[in-house]
Amino acid sequence: MAAMPDVLKLHADGSPDRLAVIVDASHGAQFSTTTYAELNRIVNRLAHGLLALGAEAGDRIVWCGPNSLETIAVIHAARKAGLVAVPLSYRFTAEEMAYVIDNSDATLVVADADYAPLIASVRAEIPKVKALVGFCATVEAKPLPDGFVDWATCLDGQSEDEPGAVDASAVGAQMLYTSGTTGKPKGALRTTTNAPVVFALLGELGFQMGNEVHITTGPMYHSGPLAFVSLNHSAGSPIVVLRRFDPEAWLTAVKQHHVTNTFSAPTQLKRIVSLPDDVLATADCSSMRCLIANAAPVPYALKQEVIAKLGDGFLFEVYGSTEMGIITVLRPEDQLRKPGSCGKPYGGIEFRIVRDDGTEAETGEQGELFMSTGLAMDGYHRTEEQLSEHEDGKWKSVGDIAYADDEGYLYICDRKKDMIISGGVNIYPAEIEAVLHGYPDLLDVAVFGIPDDEWGESVYCIAQAKSGVTLDLDALRDFATENMAKYKVPRGWEVRDELPRTDAGKLLKRILRDEFWPDRAV
């Protein structure tokens, strides 16, 4: 059987003049528009250039930088060249970058000029890397460090022909490193996908093939934004690229380009709906059909605000992980009907709630969430640590505590490792944070356990006020007392200017907890 043509080639051949990438000019990015035919030619030249630098099929290629035409091209080129693409967070320190590059066994690194110096500074710590390639994606020209091959040089003289007969059933192997919210990042390797499950997901989200426009709300090194950029390009949709998230630029781009879908963390949504009323009055989200919220729990109060200020009928919430893919979908009509839920499974995916003794929990009873899905990763790279399993590996868990209602809707309580045990009582910080997000002056909040000689742990809260607002902790404490059980109300309170979150919106609680647990960092 002949190999199926690459999906990018299919769109380049079938709709050569259709826009593939639109780079927004915000944050110093170089505005550009690129058609599918133009993108395919760039990608083919890049794939040949990477192979000429010594890459071989199956090698890992690390890419690092904010969202750009070049990062999208690297992802496509890696697939066409048979390489495993490894996104690297540009928020990492040089040492953290060196760890991921070396741990992944990468032989090539492609980096944005803004972050190339960090990688150059640890060149001696990544001896397996054969070549470094750099590019500048901003209006302001920036030089590359010594040892980097310039993007133009890498492409110069390379063929625009397809690099090989790549089977389109293999969408391109990727290894995404977990965000390291609890320790060193781990590489989640995925070499295949499950097309029927993916098509079921697109159907559940109401995707209109050939009639979508996507905008990058989050950084593509995170699994969610990357997955939806890839899905939209597979469907032949244009991608509107924001180099970095900016709420006003986001609203302007949605209106200008008639954006129909995006993937966002709650943090970005909060920043959008917190814009001044006169700015929001100019917004037009009427083209939006699918705004997917994920990467962290989505507070009910935030959902109400999104619907009130941006519009109704297009807000979806999904639950999933880098390791397991998307497991459940909560549709727009259920957002306010099912407060606290992240939806129901689709496409044959199943879940079970399991007690500590291994038996299945009853409806409404909390336990550890185990899942069975065709979207699961192959496994973690270069570590004996793997996901918890149930019943000979059919069911896997990332460590979330959850329960299901009588209609089969899933509710995530919290991560098992984030649970607070105070006086023998289990307390879930995410439940407390969801309530506190209803306080009008609050922008962000973190709740976690700190040492307590009497109770073992006590509940502690660090809050961040909205811009231009002074947070009244006494009023916030009163709000908590009125809206949750007494044992859940934090005993300690603090205000900070900013909470540590990844660009993907995940709260780095370990950084906060470690301040209070000097002898047992979590």
- CA–CA gap between residue 162 and residue 80 (Å, rounded): 8
Render the burial of 60-91: b for 16+ CB within 10 Å, e for the rest. bbbbbbbbbbbbbbbbbbbbbbbbbbbbbbbe
The answer to whether 265 and 296 have CB atoms below 8 angstroms apart is yes
Those residues with Cβ within 8 angstroms of residue 504's Cβ, 6 or more apart along the chain or in another chain: 179, 218, 219, 221, 222, 224, 225, 265, 295
- Which of the four pLDDT bands, split at 50, 70 and 90, describes residue 351? very high
Tell me which residue has tokens 């109300």: 489
> What is the structure's pLDDT at 520?
44
More confident site: 315 or 387: 315
> What is the structure's pLDDT at 456?
84
The answer to whether 110 and 83 have CB atoms below 8 angstroms apart is no
Question: Between the CA of residue 53 and those of 49, 75, 148, 257, 426, what are the distances in Å?
Answer: 6, 17, 12, 38, 55
For CA atoms 401, 406, 409, 411, the dihedral sign is negative
Backbone angles phi, psi at 71, to 5 degrees: -65, -40
The three-state (H, E, C) secondary structure of 427-455, written as one string: ECHHHHHHHHCCCCCEEEEEEEEEEECCC
208-217, 407-416, 422-431, 492-501: least confidently modelled range? 422-431
The torsion angle over the Cα atoms of residues 223, 225, 230 and 233, rounded to 10 degrees, is 180
> What is the structure's pLDDT at 415?
82
How many helices (H) and strands (E) would you count in the chain?
A: 15, 28
Strands of the sheet containing 492-495, edge to edge, are 442-452, 456-465, 492-495
70-101 tens-digit pLDDT: 999 999 999 999 999 999 999 889 999 999 99
Q: How many CB atoms lie within 10 A of CB 28?
A: 13
Q: Provide the whole-model pTM.
A: 0.86
Q: Which two tokens stand for residue 106?
A: 């990468």
For residue 332, give the 3-state DSSP assignment: helix
- Helix boundaries (H) for 104-246: 116-121, 151-155, 195-204, 223-234
478-489 tens-digit pLDDT: 999 999 989 899
Note the residue count of the chain: 522
- CA–CA gap between residue 171 and residue 6 (Å, rounded): 9
271-311 tens-digit pLDDT: 999 999 999 999 999 999 999 998 677 889 899 999 999 99
Tell me which residue has tokens 């003289």: 157
For CA atoms 263, 227, 35, 88, the dihedral sign is positive
- CA–CA gap between residue 27 and residue 398 (Å, rounded): 36
More confident site: 330 or 382: 330
Averaged confidence pLDDT in the chain: 92
- CA–CA gap between residue 180 and residue 475 (Å, rounded): 34
For residue 236, give the 3-state DSSP assignment: coil
The answer to whether 126 and 147 have CB atoms below 8 angstroms apart is no
DSSP assignment of 15-65, as one string?
STTSEEEEE--GGGB--EEEEHHHHHHHHHHHHHHHHHTT--TT-EEEEES
Average pLDDT for 246-259: 98
- Nearest CA-CA partner of 444 in 484, 496, 482: 496
- Nearest CA-CA partner of 102 in 137, 143, 60, 66: 60
How far is residue 59 CA from its own chain's centroid? Answer: 24
- DSSP bridge partners of 133: 110, 149
Those residues with Cβ within 8 angstroms of residue 69's Cβ, 6 or more apart along the chain or in another chain: 21, 23, 32, 34, 39, 137, 241
Q: Which two tokens stand for residue 29?
A: 């990015």
For residue 341, give the 3-state DSSP assignment: strand
Those residues with Cβ within 8 angstroms of residue 502's Cβ, 6 or more apart along the chain or in another chain: 89, 91, 179, 181, 222, 508
- Domains (range + CATH), the chain: 37-191 (3.40.50.980), 419-514 (3.30.300.30)
The torsion angle over the Cα atoms of residues 458, 459, 465 and 470, rounded to 10 degrees, is -50
13-52 tens-digit pLDDT: 999 999 999 999 999 999 999 999 999 999 999 999 999 9
Q: Examine the pLDDT at 168 and tell me if it is beyond 50.
A: no
86-100, 125-139, 250-264, 277-291: least confidently modelled range? 86-100
314-339 tens-digit pLDDT: 999 999 999 999 999 999 999 999 99
Q: Examine the pLDDT at 169 and tell me if it is beyond 50.
A: no
Q: Examine the pLDDT at 170 and tell me if it is beyond 50.
A: no
